[in-house]
Structure 1
Amino acid sequence: MEARVPPRQLAFALPHAESLSRDNFLEGPANADALGLIDRWPDWPNRVMLLIGPEGSGKSHLASIWAEQSGARSIASHALTAAAVPGALATGALVVEDLNLGAFDERALFHLLNLAREDEASVLITARVAPVALPIELRDLRSRLRAIPVVQLLPPDDQLFRALIVKFCADRQLAIDENVVSFLASRIERSFAAARETVGQLDAEALRLGRPVTRALAAELLRGG
């Protein structure tokens, strides 16, 4: 008699809430300068500031904290148009998210910086790299961006990295013990993006197999199956 193979459980990518409140921001040497900038507002060295850091380093979380404090609106850089600039600055504070290569209207951004100066508005721009690394064609904009003070988010130290793994698990309501945290922290790339991606994969694998999150499961995942 042919043995019946049990059906494979499917893993569904259910939405999960990642808290962006001030209380849930993980502090460490890597983000101390950036958090200090947010906490010092409106006493900034310049009305427009640039927050630079790799993917997943906390730029959006810090921008959300500042928006709550300042009443700032938020707009993605690729969605910024010249016509949208006056409305975007209506509250006197604005977050421009994710200033990336070739993904924004240079003239709209230049118009925004000019109007912000005229209106004495505060603007926080987030980006993965400094403006000097962007091949901006509009010379006046290139000059203006390079004059804006930059605050950088650095790679996480060991303590912050382990705390990030715990937080990403908590965001997904995953029960995880110290053995799993230590195992992951010593074996994956020490970056914010790697921690988030690995926890997401671990969550999906635990759901697919109907198993708890253990060191053994983490080892299987990192081995590739």
Structure 2
Amino acid sequence: MTSDKNGSQDGPAQPLLSFPVPVAHWDGLISGGPNEAAVGLASRPEAWATHALCVTGPARCGLTYLARAWAGRFGGQYMTAAEFGALKLGALDGLAGGYVALDDVDMIAARRDEPLLLFYNMIAAKGGRVLLVAHTGPAGWRTGIADLRSRLNSMPVAEISQPDEAHVRARLRAAAAQRFMKLSPETINYLVPRIDLSYEAIETLMDRLSGEVSIAGKAPGLALARLVLEGLDEDREEDEGAG
């Protein structure tokens, strides 16, 4: 999933310990509300209107996890923009009959638009399926090839929206577990109505909280969570004042 960094005067923006990237499993997806339609459509590639589906969403919403989980579920191949960029024509042809998830496709379209067009056509000819994920929709992708632009704009697009409170609650639990922490129900109940309804806000909070836990050497209780949230609010107010 996409990562962003925020600085802090009171502590590290990132946890002091390095945590492994979680293995993406379809059953591990947090589905509902903001991403229910996108996950539901991605789960039925045989029902897609075309051989391709694009899923978009805001920063840190879980697009990479979704792409990896989808590839794993259907025995396909997950590829980053850099990995796709290194492929030769023969390798593209070899992948076209299967299931392929391409991450950060806007970067691929901008840098390797001709191979992307060729691969798109190969997938269509060989009956494969390609899941494209990016933070912006196809209309905003840079490409100088009119045929590619036309194909991208004609495929179905499913959008993941910012989280509602129920999704924030589930994401807080998942983000804590990823960092080998456990939040008490009391702590979660305190945070949910006070945190911004955005994936970036959730992950930034949990990054900061993980760092403070590493410093304090104790569990992330309500008092510590309150201090971290207040510190983030102060940082934001300072940034707004400076702007």
Q: TM-score range by the shorter chain?
A: 0.7 to 0.9
What residue in structure 1 maps to residue 12 of structure 2?
none
CA contact (8 A) 1:51 1:153 kept: yes
Q: Give 2:102's match in structure 1, choosing from 96, 103, 107.
A: 96
Q: Which amino acid aligns with 2:38?
A: A
What residue in structure 1 maps to residue 124 of structure 2?
117
CA contact (8 A) 1:30 1:156 kept: yes
Q: Which amino acid aligns with 2:167?
A: L
Q: Deviations over 1:116-138 (max 9, x none)?
A: 11212111100111111223222
Residue 218 in 1 paired to residue 225 in 2?
yes
Counterpart-to-counterpart distance in 2, 1:62 and 1:197: 20
Q: Give TM-score scaled by structure 2 length.
A: 0.80
What residue in structure 2 maps to residue 7 of structure 1?
none
Q: Give 1:79's match in structure 2, choosing from 71, 76, 83.
A: 83
- Please report how far the alpha carbon of residue 103 of structure 1 lies from its aligned counterpart in structure 2 after TM superposition: 5.3
Label 1:22 to 1:69 Cα distance change in 2 as closer, same or farther (>3 A).
closer
Q: Which has the larger radius of gyration?
A: 1
Root mean square deviation of aligned Cα: 2.2
Counterpart-to-counterpart distance in 2, 1:32 and 1:97: 20
- Please report how far the alpha carbon of residue 100 of structure 1 lies from its aligned counterpart in structure 2 after TM superposition: 2.9
Q: Give 1:202's match in structure 2, choosing from 178, 200, 209.
A: 209
Q: Which amino acid aligns with 2:28?
A: N
Counterpart-to-counterpart distance in 2, 1:44 and 1:142: 19
Label 1:201 to 1:26 Cα distance change in 2 as closer, same or farther (>3 A).
same
Counterpart-to-counterpart distance in 2, 1:84 and 1:182: 52
Residue 39 in 1 paired to residue 46 in 2?
no
Q: Which amino acid aligns with 2:44?
A: R
Q: Secondary structure at the match of 1:224?
A: helix
Counterpart-to-counterpart distance in 2, 1:85 and 1:218: 51
Gaps of 5+ in 1: 1-10
Counterpart-to-counterpart distance in 2, 1:86 and 1:169: 43
Q: Secondary structure at the match of 1:18?
A: coil
What residue in structure 1 maps to residue 17 of structure 2?
13
Label 1:66 to 1:176 Cα distance change in 2 as closer, same or farther (>3 A).
same
Counterpart-to-counterpart distance in 2, 1:91 and 1:191: 37
Number of aligned pairs? 215
Q: Give 1:151's match in structure 2, choosing from 152, 158, 171.
A: 158
Q: Which has the higher helix share?
A: 2
Residue 129 in 1 paired to residue 129 in 2?
no
- Please report how far the alpha carbon of residue 106 of structure 1 lies from its aligned counterpart in structure 2 after TM superposition: 1.1
